[in-house]
């Protein structure tokens, strides 16, 4: 592992009286692709939401423990500044009700970038990185909500990249995207890791196997096993449940 970038220290979250994350501790290294696998409802999305503090928008949600980025406690940071450092892609594709161009330029414009050429460059770069450019380059004035599901998903990815974040969190980013395009995006991710740390939450265990340096098996709010991807997908990971899950004999 490279030097630590994101650290979870004894993080627990609750929705009302329901425990979601149970005393979770782990470290994500700089410029690492960090895979997280695990069944639905284990708290993977909650974990991402607690990194960028959007968990605070959910009524009744509380968090204890410490999450640090570069050794700095996220609780001490301005939440909006924090969110701008973290690109987030959630499973549900969301095209904002504005043009494709405006969608991608949204965050930079809120940051006060108003130079049209500069914005054009950002839009083109992000749309190329999310492998959407060829499909929309001639109709950037199309409404983002009128794109197909897979295109909106890539638009969401383009938006997340628009501020050149230092961390990119992908939560099931490929469920609405066809396999060929997914492969092309995966190639882009391998490029992007040079400049950012990528957390990849996926139900496609093979995707984690292809991309991740290390993989964490997460189940019912607990870290079951965290190791090099090769070990997790080998014949003998440390925990039998990991082997069962990866090989589809779970439950």
Partner 1 sequence: METASKNPFAPGEFERKKDQALAHRKWVMFGFCMLLVLPLIAILVDIFWKAAPVLSFDYLTENPTNKGKEGGLWAPLIGTFYLVIGSLLVVTPVGILAAIYMNEYAKDGWLNRTIGIAVTSLAGVPSIVHGLFGLGAFVLAMLPGFNAMLGLEGDEKWEAGLLTASLTVAVMNLPVIITSTREALGAVPQSFREACWNLGATRFQTIRTIVLPNSLSGMLTGIILVVSRAAGETAPILFTGATFFKFIADEGVEKWFPYGPGEPFMAMSMHLNIISNQISQMPENMKFGCAAVLIALILIINSFSIALRVWLRGRKRW
Binding site for partner 1 (CB under 8 A): 52, 54, 57, 59, 80-84, 88, 90, 92, 94-98, 106-107, 110, 143, 145, 156, 159-160, 162-163
Nearer to partner 1, 160 or 189 (CB): 160
CB of 36 to partner 1, least distance (A): 18
Whether 21 contacts 38, CB under 8 Å: no
Which residues are registered as beta bridge partners of 66? 9
Strand runs labelled E in 16-71? 18-29, 33-37, 61-69
Of 156 and 181, the one with the shorter C-beta distance to partner 1 is: 156
Burial of 95-128, coded b for 16+ CB within 10 Å and e otherwise, reads: bbeebbbbbbbbbbeeeeeeeeeebeebbbbbbe
Instruction: Give 52 or 202: the residue with its C-beta nearer to partner 1.
Output: 52
Cα-atom radius of gyration of the chain, to the nearest Å?
18
Query: Minimum distance between the CB of residue 234 and partner 1, rounded to whole angstroms?
Result: 35
Nearest-approach distance from CB 82 to partner 1, in angstroms: 8
**CB nearer to partner 1: pick between 143 and 188:** 143
Burial zone of 23 (CB within 10 Å; 0-12 exposed, 13-18 middle, 19+ buried): middle
Query: Locate tokens 């692709």: which residue?
Result: 33
| Nearest distance from C-beta of residue 171 to partner 1, angstroms | 11
Q: Cβ of residue 46: shortest distance to partner 1, in angstroms? A: 14
């Amino acid at each position: 592992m490279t030097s630590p970038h994101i650290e979870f220290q004894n993080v627990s979250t609750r929705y009302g009286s329901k425990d979601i994350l149970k005393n979770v501790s782990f470290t994500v290294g700089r410029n690492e692709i960090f895979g997280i696998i695990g069944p639905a409802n284990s708290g993977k999305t909650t974990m991402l939401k607690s990194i960028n503090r959007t968990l605070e928008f959910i009524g009744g949600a509380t968090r204890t423990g410490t999450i640090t980025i570069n050794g700095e406690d996220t609780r001490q940071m301005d939440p909006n500044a924090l969110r701008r450092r973290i690109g987030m892609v959630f499973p549900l594709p969301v095209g904002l009700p504005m043009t494709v161009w405006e969608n991608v330029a949204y965050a930079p414009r809120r940051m006060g970038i108003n130079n049209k050429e500069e914005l054009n460059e950002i839009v083109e770069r992000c749309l190329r990185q999310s492998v959407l450019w060829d499909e929309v380059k001639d109709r950037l004035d199309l409404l983002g909500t009128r794109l197909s599901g897979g295109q909106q998903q890539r638009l969401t990815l383009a938006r997340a990249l628009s501020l050149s974040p230092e961390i990119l969190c992908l939560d099931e980013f490929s469920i609405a995207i066809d396999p060929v395009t997914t492969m092309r995006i995966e190639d882009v991710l391998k490029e992007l890791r040079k400049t950012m740390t990528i957390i990849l939450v996926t139900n496609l265990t093979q995707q984690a196997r292809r991309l991740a340096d290390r993989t964490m098996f997460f189940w019912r709010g607990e870290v079951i096993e965290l190791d090099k991807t090769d070990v997790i997908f080998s014949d003998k990971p440390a925990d039998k449940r990991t082997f069962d899950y990866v090989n589809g004999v779970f439950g």
